[in-house]
Amino acid sequence: MVVDDEKSSRDRVALAHEAIETYDASYYETQLVRAVESVLSPLGWDRTNIRREISDERDAVLSSFGAVNELS
């Protein structure tokens, strides 16, 4: 696991059996954005669009996910 992407070689990572107290969240965010871009780029999405979308905080309501069927 990457614990500090700014460090070099052995200080950069920790093995699975080692106690890991923190990790480098920005490293994994960058990797996530790159992976999502590779899937969504044919649809016109780039890193800027993806970062903007994942940085937005919003309250979701159930109706925003489509029609809600009521049981009678």
Query: For residue 2, what are the β-bridge partners?
Result: 13
Q: Is the dihedral of CA 37, 43, 46, 47 positive or negative?
A: negative
pLDDT at 10: 62
Spatial separation of the C-alpha atoms in residues 56 and 52, rounded to whole Å:
6
CB atoms within 10 A of CB 65: 8
Query: For residue 13, what are the β-bridge partners?
Result: 2
Spatial separation of the C-alpha atoms in residues 48 and 5, rounded to whole Å:
22
6-60 pLDDT, tens digit each: 666 666 666 667 677 777 788 888 999 999 999 999 999 999 999 888 887 767 7
